[in-house]
Amino acid sequence: MINLLRFLHKHHFVLLFLLLEAFAVFMLTKSSNYHRSVVVNTTNDFAGEIFSIGDNITSYFSLKQANEKLAAENAALRNKIAYLSILEDTIASNKPDTIYHYLAARVVSNTINRRNNYIILNKGSADGVKPDMGIVSPNGIAGMVIGVSKHYSTAMSLLHKYATVSVRFKNNDQLANLSWYGGDYHYATIEQIPTHILLKQGDTVVTSGHSFIFPEGIMVGTIEEAYVTDGGDMNTARILLSTDFNRLKDVYIIENQQRMELDSLTKMHTNE
């Protein structure tokens, strides 16, 4: 016993280091494998408030740009209304229910230079935000909510190891999965595209709507280049993302109002 205590005393520096490091690695792996775990929900109102203070100061510098962007978006939406109102009468008889509900939010913190990037938004559970809701910018998709506190929410950016999005090539309706492998935040990658699918530079990539997180047809980006991989069987495409993650400010949180119903259907299907 005395020897044990003597040993512990002699090597307490190394032992304490190993103990704390093991604890750190435990937290880290837990959040990596299962990013919705309780530990990663460090979404908290305190950190949100601190980021808000920073945002309140810096947002004044980009007010003009923000206004221009919103004005442009307004104009585009007005055009769409004008166009749709012509069609409205003809489809009024079989109008579908609106499945998706949009909630405007503001980015209070955002990173782009890490391997796994997170966005913090100024809307939380009090505003009806729940995990697994999609985030879109006026230009395209941006991420998905993974944790909420009362007034803030944390979202996994599209620039994240675990953010894989189901997408579709607009001109031929082929499905694919888009991921981000780090490095330049302008570009994401689509792998495993069968070679018979023709890929042209500039082709548009949109969301497929299969994940229930994003509505169908939201802009993701355009093909920058495509090259053959896997011994000639598959193509890989480099996608220029339409969202400028470096200037993410005003975004929309998308709620799928039939999410519960769809989830229970999928669950039934997988239980069989």
Partner 1 sequence: MNKGILGALRLIGLVLLQVLILNHIRIGGYINPYVYPLFILLLPFSIPGWLLLLAGFSTGLLVDFFMATPGLHAGATLFLAFMRPSVIRLVTGTREPENASLPNLSTMGGRWFFAYSITLISLHHLFLFVCESFSLLQLGSTLLRVILSIPVSEVLILMLVYLFKPSRK
Paired sense of beta strands 187-194 and 175-179, if any: antiparallel
Q: Do the beta carbons of residue 171 and residue 157 sit within 8 Å?
A: no
Closer to partner 1 by Cβ: residue 168 or 249: 249
CA separation for the pair 138, 251 (Å, rounded): 7
CB of 223 to partner 1, least distance (A): 21
CB-CB contact of 132 with 116 (8 Å): no
* Bridge partners of residue 193, in order along the sequence: 235
For partner 1, give the closer residue by CB, 18 or 72.
Answer: 18
Of 203 and 244, the one with the shorter C-beta distance to partner 1 is: 244
Dist CA 261 CA 257 (whole Å): 9
Least distance (Å) between residue 228 CB and partner 1:
20
Binding site for partner 1 (CB under 8 A): 12-13, 16-17, 20-21, 23-28, 30-32, 39-40, 42-44, 47, 50-51, 53-54, 109, 111-116, 118, 120, 147, 154, 181-185, 246
Residue 36 CB, nearest approach to partner 1 (Å): 12
Decide whether 246 or 264 has the Cβ nearer to partner 1.
246
CB of 95 to partner 1, least distance (A): 41
Q: Supply the minimum distance, in Å, between the C-beta of residue 96 and partner 1.
A: 37
* DSSP H stretches of helix in the chain: 2-10, 12-33, 45-58, 63-91, 259-271
- Shortest spacing between CB 195 and partner 1, in angstroms: 24
Please tell me the distance from the alpha carbon of residue 87 to that of residue 242, in angstroms, as a whole number: 29
With CA atoms as reference, report the closest residue to 220 among 261, 270, 163.
163
3-state helix, strand, coil in the chain (%, to 5): 40, 30, 30
Q: What is the DSSP letter of 167?
A: E
Q: How far is the CB of 62 from partner 1 (least distance, A)?
A: 12
Nearer to partner 1, 7 or 181 (CB): 181
Q: How many CB atoms lie within 10 A of CB 93?
A: 6
- Alpha-carbon distance of 163 to 118, in angstroms, equals 11
